[in-house]
Amino acid sequence: MKVPEALGARLVRFRRPKGDGPSGMAAPVRADRRTKNLTKRLRPGNIAVIDHVDLDRVSAEALVGCGAAAVLNVATSISGRYPNLGPQLLVEAGIPLVDEVDPEVFARVREGEVLRLDGGTLFRGDRVVATGAVQDEESVARAMEAARAGLSVQLEAFAANTMEYLKRERALLLDGVGVPRISTPIEGRHALIVVRGYHYREDIAALRSYIREYRPVMIGVDGGADALVEAGYRPDIIVGDFDSVSDRVLACQAELVVHAYRDGRAPGLKRLTDLGYDPVVFPATGTSEDVAMMLADDAGAALIVAVGTHATLEEFLDKGRAGMASTFLTRLRVGGKLVDAKGVSRLYRSRISPWSLLALVAASMITVLAALWSSPAGQVFLTGVAARWDTFLYWLTGLFT
């Protein structure tokens, strides 16, 4: 992945030892133990401080997209459990990555204060705030190679989690028991489910012709609702725990479905009720994208198109969650209805292309003119049109003489 030009320019400015002055980069620091929360307020050129074991690809893409100047991770970016993709993405983008930073860094730094990062050491003036281990392409490659060696263990754990989930949720998966009724009509229509995951922006852009022609039911999963609004669409349904949906998007009159846990906890319910909304509650084990797929399938969607969701084994493991077993089984449940957005964009072609429509209009005009020219009545009509045109030209010329 190439470094964006603006980001590259910032990094050059930050690494600017002048004369005998201090080396390294000086930039505002923003810290949060949850990477998803940090990216909401991270600004281009900021140093990001996170606590993220096995940094996944989606989180790394968000950090790159925010223009982070450097990333300091209190945890280990690659623990060796499985070959996660985030660290490789950061180093390929030219963003310095420092691992195993002193955990006290969260208490020592103030939001937005300008500190200096030199190698693996963070300074306030000449005082050391925190230290860590610098990661580069070679160290990341070695860690990834070691993680791949133990991949069979992770596959066995993934299979065990899948069987456990199947035992707990077989009534939901096999018979749809527990799926709530929604008011948005989906029966017989296409459903477009958007998750703010892998390449979601590119996939939405590639589906514009499909969306214009089929007008699918728009389902945003948490931040996927914001992604739809950013692309110029209005979500019909928003599903999730609502920790990453903006208040502006909540006000778009979409139907709201809160993903609750089986023990009765519904983290997003309080926020919605405090704002005056009356959401539908869907208790289910697994991820919110699973809930969205089961909701669309149970409501009778003819086709489910997925944007930004997890589609491959590599992506399942990269997420690093036992709950991803539910995503695997949910995809088996919806079966032939489910199509990944990349497949739709590659196979779909608009039924009537703009050039075909233009050619049809041109052919119709030529046919009408030929008919008028060859008939006596048409000759009289054309003579009248020509006379009116001459009168119009005479009047127009008189305005300027």
- Phi/psi at 157 (5° precision): -65, -40
Residue 111 has what pLDDT? 93
DSSP state letters, 50-67: E--SS--HHHHHHHHHHT
pTM over 0.85: no
What's the token pair of residue 221?
């999963």
CB 202 within 8 A of CB 231: no
Whole-angstrom distance, CA of residue 287 vs CA of residue 317:
14
Whole-angstrom distance, CA of residue 224 vs CA of residue 8:
28
Whole-angstrom distance, CA of residue 124 vs CA of residue 117:
9
CB 26 within 8 A of CB 115: yes
Residue 318 has what pLDDT? 57
Whole-angstrom distance, CA of residue 297 vs CA of residue 186:
9
Residue 336 has what pLDDT? 76
Whole-angstrom distance, CA of residue 140 vs CA of residue 321:
21
Residue 103 has what pLDDT? 93
**Strands of 226-302, DSSP E:** 237-240, 255-260, 280-283
For the beta carbon of residue 96, count every other beta carbon within 10 angstroms. Answer: 23
Running DSSP on this structure, what letter comes out for residue 101? -
Whole-angstrom distance, CA of residue 131 vs CA of residue 133:
7
What's the token pair of residue 145?
């190679």
Amino acid identity of residue 251, one-letter, is A
Per-position pLDDT tens, the chain of length 401? 444 444 443 443 344 444 455 678 999 999 999 998 899 899 999 999 999 998 988 889 899 999 999 999 999 999 887 788 899 999 999 999 999 999 999 999 999 999 999 999 999 999 999 999 999 999 999 998 888 776 666 667 667 766 676 666 666 665 556 788 999 999 999 999 999 877 788 889 989 988 988 999 999 999 999 999 999 999 999 999 998 899 999 999 999 999 998 777 888 899 999 999 999 999 887 788 888 998 999 999 999 998 987 656 555 565 555 455 566 677 777 877 888 887 775 665 555 556 666 777 788 778 877 776 777 777 777 787 778 877 877 777 777 76
CA atoms within 13 Å, Cβ hemisphere of 237? 29
